[in-house]
Amino acid sequence: MAKVLITGASGLIGRALVTKFLSDGWEVIAQVRNNHDFASNSSLTVIEFDLEKRSGGELLNQVGEVDLVINNAANQEQLQLSNREGAIRQFIVNAIAPTEIAAVAMKLGVTTLINISSVEALSAKAGHEYYGASKAALDSLTKSLANTLAPMRSISIRLGLVGDSSLATRWPEGVTAWNAATPLARYAAPEEVAEFVALLSSDSLRYVTGSTFDFDGGKGANPGW
């Protein structure tokens, strides 16, 4: 049975990834920062591990051999530009920890590494300057690691707005603005993200590495004026 490590597994996208890979017959190792409420499953192991305070390499050494790593954990705090400590925390979780994981992954024989990035790597909203910069760093690292850690594949996905069915009710102004700027005029469901990640991890795309894919409903194609 193939085995996958999914970081940030307790969030909306993380849970969709766990569900998808379990349904596809994978053994899933789910990293969470603290308490979780996953249903018991013989193919699921949940590990509580704080990537802000401990090395990502330590996590992978604890997990052992896996076939696929999905770096999904993210710090999405809105920060003041003067918040040096917050910026450091954000870069640790969003860029440094995934790289530490990648370095050990190659040594353990992982075949594919998928980094979950964001459209804010290209242009971040106010309050997300450090978040966007950390995701831009992750995209750059994805490309560099494809060379450094070959033949392990290194891939990045720049996500647009992702939400559940209640997002439009909870954040109507954000959803309205996103839909107006996006050719497909909607946000993505987490299950759609999971399907795309599964596709990129499949053998049918085994020649793909060092690439960053936009999964944004066409937002990046909009000239903005």
Phi–psi pair at 140, nearest 5 degrees = -65, -45
Can you give the chain as a three-state secondary structure string? CCEEEECCCCCHHHHHHHHHHHHCCCEEEEEECCCCCCCCCCCEEEEECCCCCCCHHHHHHHHCCCCEEEECCCCCCCCCCCCHHHHHHHHHHHHHHHHHHHHHHHHCCCCEEEEEEEHHHCCCCCCCHHHHHHHHHHHHHHHHHHHHCCCCEEEEEEECCECCCCHHHHCHHHHHHHHHHCCCCCCECHHHHHHHHHHHHCHHHCCCCCEEEEECCCHHHCCCC
Report the alpha-carbon distance of residue 8 to residue 56 in Å, rounded.
12
Q: What is the CATH number of domain 3-217?
A: 3.40.50.720
Q: Tokens in use for 80? A: 């003041």
Annotated catalytic residue within 130, 131, 187, 207: 131
What confidence tens digit (pLDDT) does each residue in 5-32 have?
999 999 999 999 999 999 999 999 999 9
| pLDDT bracket for residue 107 (50, 70, 90) | very high
Phi–psi pair at 153, nearest 5 degrees = -80, 140
With CA atoms as reference, report the closest residue to 4 among 25, 28, 24, 20. Answer: 28
Question: How far lies 161's CA from each of 35, 124, 194, 222, in Å?
Answer: 26, 13, 14, 15
What confidence tens digit (pLDDT) does each residue in 63-75 have?
999 999 999 999 9
Q: Tokens in use for 156? A: 């990045």
Report the alpha-carbon distance of residue 78 to residue 99 in Å, rounded.
23
Q: Judge whether 131 counts as a catalytic residue.
A: yes
What confidence tens digit (pLDDT) does each residue in 112-167 have?
999 999 999 999 999 999 999 999 999 999 999 999 999 999 999 999 999 999 99
Given a cut of 90, whether residue 225 has pLDDT beyond it is no
- For 179, counting Cβ atoms within 10 Å of its Cβ (0-12 exposed, 13-18 middle, 19+ buried), the class is middle
Per-domain residue ranges for the chain? Answer: 3-217
Report the alpha-carbon distance of residue 14 to residue 90 in Å, rounded.
18
Supply the pTM of this predicted model.
0.96
